[in-house]
Chains A and B, each alone.
Chain A
Amino acid sequence: MNLRSGGPVVPVIRSLGRLWLVAVTIAIWEIVTRTAEQPFFPPPSAILARMHELWFSGPASHLLLTDQALSDFGPSLARLFGGWLAAAVLGVLAGIAIGCSPRLSDYLDPLIDLGRAVPPPLLVPFFLALLKLGTPAQLATIVFGVIWPILLNTVDGTRGVDRQHLETARIFGFSASQRLWQVILPAAMPKIFAGLRLALSLALILLVIAEIFGGSGGIGYQLLWAQRSYLFPDMWGCLVMLGLLGYLLNSAFLLLERRVLAWHRGARQTN
């Protein structure tokens, strides 16, 4: 069996084949909005034209991005990835510690259950009061909101490492760090990746919420500002952009997951 079986070409063609429904949906959307002539619901062509004008009519040296695009998306993406990565590092480290130590997990389980039960958007005012308005509070919101699926999945994955794999490692004299890097982490990786992917989509939601409430700049702030200024094509442009962003992030993550967890897919197919 080849790890790269299929290659990237076949899935692309296959997904293009499914895209006709998207085209039909957009066409219907166009017709309905043009007939209705409501200012709140601009047709997709107008939204696209506005998006192009706002963000994608820049010089080729900037990949066609305008200054506006850089100032709208740049800070947002930095917050999104910053928050997600920080949550990933904290969540995986804490998750492995808790997963490996029954005592630690006895102490921390009630706290974790309490923490993840709090709806993260409600914490925006709390972090705003606690931290400075702007990026620190926004980052804190994202980190606190998305760490739970990472943490819980890592704990679960770490606890689920096959006992015989651990015994094999001990008998063959693996050091503690070898056991962590070569046995526990790879074995827990499928679960960890599931958590990371969930966290990524959560991070986008929390980013927008955090920017709407405590923002100065960024795509969420832009969305709110456009809505308050009755710039409906701008507002719709932000919504479409967020949708696209979410889709792209998920696809990119799936590609990464497929590379890192090739062994897992192979092992599952044969067992």
Chain B
Amino acid sequence: MLKITDLVHSYGSHRVLDGVSLSVAEGELVSVVGPSGCGKSTLLRSIAGLVRPSGGSILLGGRPIDRIPDNLAIVFQDYSRSLFPWMTAMSNVALPLRRRGLDRRRSREAAMAALDQVGLADAGGKYPWEMSGGMQQRVSIARALAYRPALLLMDEPFGSVDAQTREDLEDLVLRVCAHQGMTILLITHDIDESVYVGDRVIVLTRSPARVAADLEVGLGGSRDQIATRQLDEFVRLRAEVGRLVRGGSTTATTVLEQH
């Protein structure tokens, strides 16, 4: 689905990505975790076609990314700068669908269905600034869902909401991901979160970023905020990812060393 090979990017003489290679399979939720300022966002922006990387290749569905792909959606951390405050929630979700060849009525129906999926069936007529932060982020998730992208990118999507809302949103993403068979690449600096939501966790090193580890998360499909976090596997993985993010080495068995 997504295959990144030896991705390199520098801003001037400052190298942020130093040969990042990773792949995401169809229907997988891969979380990318790394220390703050390690180049996670640059990685995501390269995949989205917003940044032209200095070197390496990105293949999405077998095709190289040379401009903004038309089958890709994004959920930004800062919902207030991503949702349009002059449109209702409904219009925010429905507008991108018009470009996908849906007429007015059908795009509103699809938008309604997506809002329903994120639990905002009654909030379509509200403006973003009439909603709480969590609700706004639900709207941007609904917008991404309705768009039915081949790949959904999420850039610290739960970084600006309170802890309770964060857990709700994590479960929401897991639920719709399973329901729609969505392929998701989620970027976070939160170690717990990367393990809790991911089918796989990719750990990046401190800047310039390389892949420190690519860990399979053996927690199965269904997760629970309390029970899952108590499992031995969860505790072990969280500790391992934590060590890696801090720049330590890891036990050899779980690491698929970067070539």
Contact B129 A171 (CB under 8 A): no
A-B contact count (CB 8 A): 69
Asked whether A164 lies within 8 Å of B82 as measured between CB atoms, the reply is yes
- The prevalent SS among residues of A at the interface is helix
Is the CB of B224 closer than 8 A to any CB of chain A?
no
Q: Which residues of A contact B87 (CB under 8 A)?
A: 182
Q: Which residues of A contact B73 (CB under 8 A)?
A: 171-172
Are the CB atoms of B129 and A263 closer together than 8 Å? yes
B45 to chain A, nearest CB (A): 8
Q: Which residue of A lies closest to B96 (CB)?
A: A172
Q: Whole-angstrom distance between the alpha carbons of A174 and B70 in the complex?
A: 10
**Given A167-B50, A172-B147, A174-B99, residue A182 in contact with residue B82 (CB < 8 A):** no
Contacts of B74 in A (CB 8 A): 168, 171
A262 nearest CB across to chain B (Å): 9
A189 — which chain B residues lie within 8 A by C-beta?
A: 86
Given contacts A1-B130, A172-B99, A173-B99, contact A263 B82 (CB under 8 A): no
Check A171–B99 contact: CB distance below 8 A. no
By the criterion CB–CB under 8 Å, are B76 and A173 in contact? no
B160 to chain A, nearest CB (A): 13
- Check A266 against B84 for contact (C-beta < 8 Å): no
Least CB distance from A271 to B in Å reads: 7
Contact residues in A for B49 (Cβ distance below 8 Å): 171
Q: A263 and B85 in contact (CB under 8 A), knowing A1-B130, A172-B99?
A: yes
Closest Cβ of chain A to B132, distance in Å, is: 10
In the complex, which residues 159-187 of chain A have their Cβ closer than 8 Å to any Cβ of chain B? 162, 164-165, 167-168, 170-175, 178, 182-183, 186-187
Known: A167-B50, A171-B73, A173-B96. A271 touches B129 (CB 8 A): yes
Tell me, yes or no, whether B171 is within 8 Å of chain A by CB: no
A171 touches B48 (CB 8 A): yes
Whole-angstrom CA separation of A267 from B81 in the bound complex: 12
Residues of B92-110 whose CB lies within 8 A of A: 95-96, 98-100
A263-B48 Cα distance, complex, nearest whole Å? 30
Chain A residue nearest to B131 (CB atoms) is A270
User: Which of A164, A168, A174, A187: most chain B CB closer than 10 A?
Assistant: A168
Chain A interface bracket (under 10, 10 to 19, 20 to 34, 35 or more): 20 to 34
What 0/1 readout, one digit per residue, does chain B (119-155) give for beta carbons within 8 Å of chain A?
0000000011110000000000001000100000000
Cβ B143 vs Cβ A172 within 8 A: yes
Please indicate the chain B residues that have their CB under 8 angstroms from the CB of A263 in the complex: 85-86, 127, 129
Question: Are A168 and B129 closer than 8 Å at their CB atoms?
Answer: no
List the B residue with the shortest CB-CB distance to A170: B68
Q: Does B72 sit at the interface, judged by CB under 8 A? A: yes
In the complex, A271→B83 CA distance in Å? 14
CB pair A266 B129 closer than 8 Å: yes
- Could you tell me the distance between the alpha carbons of A182 and B68 in the complex, rounded to whole angstroms? 19
Neighbouring B residues of A164 by C-beta, 8 Å: 76, 78, 81-82
For A266, what are the chain B residues with a Cβ–Cβ distance below 8 Å?
Answer: 85, 127, 129-130
Q: Does B254 contact A (CB under 8 A)?
A: no
Q: How many Å lie between the Cα of A260 and that of B82 in the bound state? A: 21
Q: What's the minimum C-beta distance from B113 to chain A, rounded to whole angstroms? A: 17
Q: Across the interface, which residues of A come within 8 angstroms of B50, CB to CB?
A: 167, 170-171
A182 to B96, CA, bound (A): 11
16 additional contacts, CB 8 Å, given A165-B84, A267-B128? Answer: A162-B81, A164-B78, A164-B81, A168-B84, A170-B50, A171-B49, A171-B73, A172-B99, A173-B96, A173-B99, A174-B95, A174-B99, A175-B99, A264-B86, A267-B127, A267-B129
Q: Which 7 A-B pairs have the closest CB atoms?
A: A172-B96, A164-B81, A186-B86, A267-B129, A267-B85, A263-B86, A270-B129
Give 22 CB contacts A-B under 8 Å. A164-B81, A165-B82, A165-B84, A167-B48, A167-B50, A168-B82, A171-B73, A172-B96, A173-B68, A173-B99, A173-B100, A174-B96, A178-B99, A183-B84, A186-B84, A187-B86, A189-B86, A263-B129, A267-B127, A267-B129, A270-B130, A271-B80
Chain A contacts to B: CB under 8 angstroms: 1, 162, 164-165, 167-168, 170-175, 178, 182-183, 186-187, 189, 263-264, 266-267, 269-271
